[in-house]
Structure 1
Amino acid sequence: MLASRVAARSARVAAPRFQPAATRGYAEAAKSAVNSKPPVALFGLDGTYASALYTAAAKTSTLDSVAKALENLSATFKKDVRLQGIMAAPSLDAKDKSQIIAELQKSTGDKGETLKNFLETLAENNRLSVLEGVCEKFGILMSASRGEVEMTITSAAPLDAKMLKQLEAAVGKSQYVGQGKKLKVVPKVNPDIRGGLIVEVGDRTIDLSVSSKMAKMNKLLSDSL
């Protein structure tokens, strides 16, 4: 697993030290690149970095390759739960970070300079811990650039393909998907909802989960007694 390789290479612990920022950071590049402006505004530190990476990739015509690389990296984070903790360690020195970047690049399968430079910028600014969030936020930007509207369907257990297709068809004809837009279905599993569904389209959430209904019932009983 990637975390095991990273941990082995980063076993030598050094005292935290100040890492100077890059001469010109990705955030600065994003502000000046008018023609490659991200399609939607994102918030948070991971959103800022994702937007900056989008700008850099657009300027170098590497959006598709970077997007694929981050999809691979996102899958790695999901498989290797220890990886995030290793990357967030405050004791990593310059050599440790360089080795981590080399391992990350192997995981992405990307050999281009855009993502490599971005990873180096994160490392120099002690921001490798936001990388998992960057992967997710970059996906949002790519969906928006392709004219997609993301619909997240959360269920207590995995839904079969037929059910997902039915939900996609129903929501795709609704007012929540603008004309000329494509619906992108993102299934998620959360056993805590106990049953039912939570459907999120844009900024709208439809909570049909069993846990939500139980919470409402408990409140009603509490208020009545």
Structure 2
Amino acid sequence: MASRFARLTTSVPQLTRSYAASAQSIKAPITLFGLDGRYATALYVAAARENALDTVEKDLKQFQSFAAKDKQVASFLENPTLSRKEKKDSIASLLAKSGKVHNLTKNFFETLAENGRLPESAKVIDSFGELMSAHRNELSLVVTSAKALDKATLNKVAEALQKSQLAEGKKLLVSNKVKPDILGGLLVELGDKSIDLTVSSKLAKLNKLVSDAV
């Protein structure tokens, strides 16, 4: 993997050297696949070697928030008509506007620009977030309901799952997603596992039983 990433980042020696030097001693907490996974893993390993994981994570979240608020930034990242050189020259000024960033973060975005991968920025940032959650032994818990749940109800769901084997002893990051078309009940997503207790799901099963019986 080191050689594969090295081929992608020959234009940014610092990030490449950081990854290559640390590849044998530092490993990512989980294995991610795809191009975004490779970039995120390379950045994670390089940042871990420099004890800059939290700083780089903050940089990426800051840039993501900046891009979400400014449509022109999002348009720039996606623009296929700009040359790689133009994107590399422009990304530095954008990073400066989003706030002071670590050199690894700067070199990382320059790498994406040089390799024509800036449109993948959001995916890479999300993948880096997955690595950081795994690093902190966290597990995402998304509870989907027809109406917003109060904090007490959400806590009860989280507490019940925290005690179960499904939580794998990890710290749960709880969020509530509202989706009226489930009609009622809950859809619980814990990491890559899901428990469907929604009314819409039960009605779908009932309708299938009725149609199969006719």
Q: TM-score scaled to structure 1, two decimals?
A: 0.75
Which of the residues 45, 48, 53 maps onto 1:55?
45
Tell me which moved more, 205-214 or 29-38: 29-38
Q: Residue 163 in 1 paired to residue 150 in 2?
A: no
Kindly indicate whether residue 200 of structure 2 is the aligned counterpart of residue 211 of structure 1: yes
For each residue in 1:134-176, what CA deviation from the matched residue of structure 2 results, as whole angstroms up to 9, or x when unmatched? 2222111111111222222233443332222222111111111
8 Å Cα contact 1:156-1:191 kept in structure 2? yes
Instruction: Report if aligned partners of 1:88, 1:128 keep a CA contact under 8 Å in 2.
Output: yes
1:6 corresponds to which residue? none
Q: Is the 8 A contact 2:47 2:53 kept in 1?
A: yes
The residue that corresponds to 1:22 in the other structure is: 9
Match of 1:4 in 2: none
How far apart are the structure 1 equivalents of 2:136 and 2:34? 23
Q: Report how far residue 80 of structure 1 moved.
A: 5.4
| Counterpart pick for 1:95 among 42, 65, 86 | 86
Residues 78 and 119 in structure 2, CA contact (< 8 A), matched pair in contact too: yes
Superposed displacement of residue 97, structure 1: 4.4
8 Å contact kept, 1:21–1:125: yes
Which of the pair is proportionally richer in helix? Answer: 2
Structure 2: gaps (5+ residues): 1-6
Inter-partner Cα distance in structure 2 for 1:58 and 1:160: 38
> Matched residues in 2 for 1:84 and 1:220: separation?
47
Alignment partner, residue 154 of structure 1: 144
Residue identity in the other structure for 2:205: K
Secondary structure of the structure 1 residue equivalent to 2:167? coil
- Retained in 2: the 8 A contact 1:21–1:124? no
Query: C-alpha displacement at 1:57, in angstroms?
Result: 0.9
Report the more deviating stretch, 124-133 or 20-29: 20-29
* Greater displacement, 38-47 / 117-126: 38-47
1:182 matched to which residue of 2? 171
Deviations 1:103-159 (A, max 9, x none): 24533x342101111111111111111111122221111111112222222334433
User: Counterpart of 1:124 in structure 2: which amino acid?
Assistant: E
Q: Equivalent residue of 1:176, what SS?
A: helix
- Cα RMSD over matched residues? 2.9
Query: Measured at CA, do residues 96 and 138 of structure 1 come closer, stay the same or move farther in structure 2, by a change above 3 Å?
Result: closer
One-letter amino acid matched to 1:202: G
SS state of the match for residue 186, structure 1? strand
Cross-structure match for 2:128: 138
Which ranges of structure 1 fall in alignment gaps of 5 or more residues?
1-19
Relative distance call for 1:167 and 1:113 in structure 2 (3 A) is: same
Given residue 148 of structure 1, which amino acid in structure 2 is its aligned partner?
E
Farther off after superposition, 116-125 or 35-44: 35-44
**Between the two proteins, what is the percent identity of the paired residues?**
46
TM-score under structure 2 length normalisation: 0.79
The correspondence of residues 62-141 of structure 1 with structure 2, limited to 5 A, is 62-76=52-66, 79=69, 84=74, 86-93=76-83, 94-107=85-98, 109-141=99-131
Choose from 211, 214, 221 the match for 2:210: 221
Check the 8 A contact 2:60/2:105 in 1, yes or no.
no
Cα distance 1:111–1:90, how it changes in 2: closer, same or farther (>3 A)?
A: same
**How many aligned positions are there?**
204
User: In the superposition, relative to structure 1, how do residues 68 and 174 fare at CA in structure 2: closer, same or farther (>3 Å)?
Assistant: same
